[in-house]
Amino acid sequence: MTSDLTVPLNYDPSDFLNHDLHNKLTRPMNATDPCFEAWLSQETGIDASSLGINALERAVLERVRATQSAASAESVTGLADGAVHAYWQLLNSSPDERLALVEVLVVPETWFFRDREAFVALARLANEKLVRDPSRVVRVLSVPCSSGEEPYSVAMALLDAGIAAERFTIDALDISARAIELAQQGVYGRNSFRGGEYAFRDRHFSRTDAGWVLNERIQQTVRFAQANLFEPSPTGGARYDFIFCRNVLIYFHRDAQDRAIHLLDARLADDGTIFVGPAETGLMMRHTLSSARIPLAFAFQRTPPEEAAQWRFTLFGKAANAGVAAGYAAVAAPHGLAGAPGTDGMSKTPTLPFTQAASAFVPASAPASAPAFSPPALKPPPAAPRKAKPASALGHATPALSATPGVSLAEARQLADAGQFDKAERVAHEFVIVHGPHADAFYLLGLIADAQGHAADASDYYRKALYLEPAHYEALTHLAALLDVTGDSAGAQQLMRRAQRAAAKAAPPGDAPLNSPRGAHGSRRH
């Protein structure tokens, strides 16, 4: 998992010593003792099962061996009960050891411009704010910032959009001292660059024997601090125009998720935007936040309560407002496809197509030659299905209709973004008729069904996408979100582990190895 921000830095051991679990210290302990899982849940919000099989047990044993005397360490296998018991006491008395155990568990998994559309949206929205108020300074928070790839991506996106460095500030927080140290060094290996779009690397990095070194100009725009999400912010009561908190909430238990979102919301400016991970969109819908309607940016904005109620009623009917359908309401329509009400009382403008997501606005102070920050252009769909399998294995994927020549997934996406779900669904089906079963087409159909509250259909389409492309990251994460809401936490966790493996394999294979430890930039403990 990405490094989290959940261990209280002002932890009082007496609080936990009085806990019923501590009474178990009168009997022998081992590394699988439920005390450790309960401690992790209580003090970090993390569900131990979300970390992978035996991950917590291995981490505890690693720290037992590291903290015991040489003689004890050598015999830890034979004297496991006594050694683990001693470590449990150390864990409850030493803030440093609590942080050390968390460090073992939270090996960073991140890369530059992960979910690129979020950074495209950031650049566009920031430019719009600065055009409206030329004296404004845009504030951005990255939490947890891990080893720095995310906040540095924010800086590159804003600078490449023509926004001068003095027009924005970036605060980057993480509980991991090791992650902060790596971020401040600004040296990265090949696993931090994924997705095949590396023009930014040519602009902002220099290649050395040690790795890719980030230009000092970018490094100077980010302020790093070791801090905890659940503790008072080192930046005081500052409120942010943009908050990035991505791919960490999914590892928390339900209460910790709700508390974290509440704290993030309190730090958000009234007209601010929160970016989350693709599997976390459903979590945001449990709160007074609505989709910003930006394709694949996974962005949310604050919604007035009366508008939020109207929005849920539109999707789910009277039962949703009464709380009966709250479980499914948490996952339906969070994917930036359409129509959540705006936060300023005005209807939102139609979402730009994917290829035009970067804003044309440039603040007056920006140089005329400033390069535009934009996502890679959509590649045309292949004439033949990608990883096609027999249609019979997929069931009846399409209705009985005649295909229209020249249909494209880009057209279907644009219709879905505009809220024209019926037309978008028809175009996507026609695409399948023309080109055959296609993972991206089924994924889009899943999003459309998801946005309309058709959970069973959405699940079916996501599964079809995964049948064709087992490592389809977005289908894996969205199906995981559906399973989690319906109570299949084990199935959801299995899919998230598959998604993590798929992401880890996305590193460019042709890039020459650099002298950077893989574990520091993306490998994961399982």
Residue 193 lies in a domain: yes
Quickly state the pLDDT bin for 197 (edges 50, 70, 90). Answer: confident
The mean pLDDT of 80-87, rounded to a whole number, is 77
- Looking up residue 464, the CATH number of its domain turns out to be 1.25.40.10
CA distance linking residue 75 with residue 65, whole number of Å: 9
Q: What is the pLDDT of residue 449?
A: 84
pTM for the model stands at 0.59
Q: What is the pLDDT of residue 166?
A: 96
Q: Which of 82, 41, 43, 90 is nearest to 63 (CA)?
A: 90
Sign of the C-alpha dihedral computed for residues 162, 164, 168 and 174 taken in this order: positive
Q: What is the pLDDT of residue 320?
A: 41
| Phi and psi torsions of 295, nearest 5° | -55, 125
Quickly state the pLDDT bin for 125 (edges 50, 70, 90). Answer: very high
Residue 5 lies in a domain: no
- Asked if residue 127 and residue 61 are part of one domain, the reply reads no
Chain centre to alpha carbon of residue 460: 24
Q: What is the pLDDT of residue 141?
A: 97
- Asked if residue 132 and residue 67 are part of one domain, the reply reads no
The answer to whether 162 and 130 are in contact (CB under 8 A) is: no
- Asked if residue 65 and residue 34 are part of one domain, the reply reads yes
pLDDT digits (tens, 9 = 90+) for 447-465: 888 777 687 888 889 999 9
Residue 378 lies in a domain: no
The mean pLDDT of 42-69, rounded to a whole number, is 82
Q: What is the pLDDT of residue 171?
A: 97
The mean pLDDT of 443-449, rounded to a whole number, is 88
- What single letter denotes the amino acid at residue 368? A
Q: What is the pLDDT of residue 148?
A: 96
Q: What is the pLDDT of residue 322?
A: 41
- Looking up residue 151, the CATH number of its domain turns out to be 3.40.50.150
What spatial distance separates the first Cα and last Cα of the chain, rounded to whole Å?
10
Instruction: Note down the domain range covering 429.
Output: 391-504
Our count of domains for the chain comes to: 3
- Asked if residue 127 and residue 93 are part of one domain, the reply reads no
CA distance linking residue 2 with residue 11, whole number of Å: 22
Average pLDDT, the chain: 73
Helices (H), 133-189: 149-160, 177-185
Q: What is the pLDDT of residue 353?
A: 29
Q: Among 6-10, 53-57, 145-149, whose mean pLDDT is lowest?
A: 6-10
Residues 6+ apart with CB under 8 A from 46: 1, 4, 6, 40, 105, 251, 252, 253, 256
- Asked if residue 164 and residue 84 are part of one domain, the reply reads no
The mean pLDDT of 133-157, rounded to a whole number, is 96
Both structure tokens of 235: 């930046």
Residue 514 lies in a domain: no
- What single letter denotes the amino acid at residue 260? A
Residue 376 lies in a domain: no
Helix H or strand E encompassing 174: strand 168-174
Complete DSSP assignment for 217-242: HHHTTEEEEE--TTS--TTTT--EEE
- Asked if residue 122 and residue 75 are part of one domain, the reply reads no
Q: What is the pLDDT of residue 106?
A: 76
Residue 1 lies in a domain: no
Q: Which of 308, 344, 291 is nearest to 128 (CA)?
A: 344
Instruction: Provide the CB-side half-sphere exposure for 134 (13 A, CA).
Output: 5
Q: What is the pLDDT of residue 27?
A: 57
Query: At residue 286, does pLDDT exceed 70?
Result: yes
Q: What is the pLDDT of residue 383?
A: 37
Both structure tokens of 192: 């931090």
CA distance linking residue 44 with residue 251, whole number of Å: 10
Q: What is the pLDDT of residue 507?
A: 52
The mean pLDDT of 288-296, rounded to a whole number, is 82
Quickly state the pLDDT bin for 433 (edges 50, 70, 90). Answer: confident
CA distance linking residue 235 with residue 244, whole number of Å: 16
The answer to whether 474 and 461 are in contact (CB under 8 A) is: no
CA distance linking residue 146 with residue 519, whole number of Å: 13
Q: What is the pLDDT of residue 186?
A: 97
Q: Which of 425, 464, 364 is nearest to 136 (CA)?
A: 364
Helices (H), 274-419: 281-284, 305-316, 318-321, 326-329, 409-417
CA distance linking residue 100 with residue 157, whole number of Å: 33
Considering 345, 363, 381, which residue would you say is the last residue of a domain? 345
Q: Among 128-137, 255-264, 279-288, 462-471, whose mean pLDDT is lowest?
A: 279-288
pLDDT digits (tens, 9 = 90+) for 297-340: 889 998 766 555 554 444 444 444 443 333 333 333 333 333 33
CA distance linking residue 330 with residue 351, whole number of Å: 23
pLDDT digits (tens, 9 = 90+) for 14-32: 444 444 444 444 556 788 8
- Asked if residue 159 and residue 299 are part of one domain, the reply reads yes
Query: At residue 185, does pLDDT exceed 70?
Result: yes
The answer to whether 480 and 279 are in contact (CB under 8 A) is: yes
Residue 204 lies in a domain: yes
- Asked if residue 74 and residue 135 are part of one domain, the reply reads no
Both structure tokens of 400: 């009985």
The mean pLDDT of 47-60, rounded to a whole number, is 83
- Higher-pLDDT residue of 285 and 309 is 285
The answer to whether 264 and 274 are in contact (CB under 8 A) is: yes
Residues 6+ apart with CB under 8 A from 16: 22, 39, 42, 43, 92
Q: Determine the 3-state secondary structure of 28 from DSSP.
A: coil
Neighbour count for residue 157 (Cβ, 10 Å): 24
Q: What is the pLDDT of residue 268?
A: 95
Strands 205-208 and 268-275: unpaired
Q: Among 52-56, 206-210, 299-303, whose mean pLDDT is lowest?
A: 52-56
Q: Among 139-153, 215-229, 500-514, whose mean pLDDT is lowest?
A: 500-514
Highest mean pLDDT among 48-52, 120-124, 366-370: 120-124
The answer to whether 461 and 428 are in contact (CB under 8 A) is: no
Neighbour count for residue 327 (Cβ, 10 Å): 14
- Asked if residue 409 and residue 278 are part of one domain, the reply reads no
Quickly state the pLDDT bin for 143 (edges 50, 70, 90). Answer: very high
- Higher-pLDDT residue of 70 and 306 is 306
Quickly state the pLDDT bin for 40 (edges 50, 70, 90). Answer: confident
Helix H or strand E encompassing 172: strand 168-174
- Asked if residue 147 and residue 101 are part of one domain, the reply reads no
The mean pLDDT of 463-485, rounded to a whole number, is 86
- Higher-pLDDT residue of 482 and 360 is 482
- Asked if residue 225 and residue 334 are part of one domain, the reply reads yes
Q: What is the pLDDT of residue 325?
A: 36
Query: At residue 378, does pLDDT exceed 60?
Result: no
CB neighbour class for 270 (10 Å; exposed up to 12, middle 13-18, buried from 19): exposed
Q: What is the pLDDT of residue 404?
A: 54
Quickly state the pLDDT bin for 206 (edges 50, 70, 90). Answer: very high
The mean pLDDT of 267-293, rounded to a whole number, is 86
Q: What is the pLDDT of residue 417?
A: 66
Considering 345, 379, 414, which residue would you say is the last residue of a domain? 345
| Phi and psi torsions of 301, nearest 5° | -130, 160
Both structure tokens of 267: 């730090």
Peptide bond into 144 cis (omega under 30): yes
Q: Among 132-136, 226-230, 376-380, 402-406, whose mean pLDDT is lowest?
A: 376-380
Q: What is the pLDDT of residue 491?
A: 85
The mean pLDDT of 73-89, rounded to a whole number, is 67
The mean pLDDT of 194-208, rounded to a whole number, is 93
CA distance linking residue 153 with residue 112, whole number of Å: 6
Q: Find residue 301's DSSP bridge partners.
A: 273, 290
CB neighbour class for 360 (10 Å; exposed up to 12, middle 13-18, buried from 19): exposed
Both structure tokens of 304: 């007035």
Residue 520 lies in a domain: no
- Asked if residue 301 and residue 396 are part of one domain, the reply reads no
Both structure tokens of 489: 């936490």
Helices (H), 225-373: 254-267, 281-284, 305-316, 318-321, 326-329
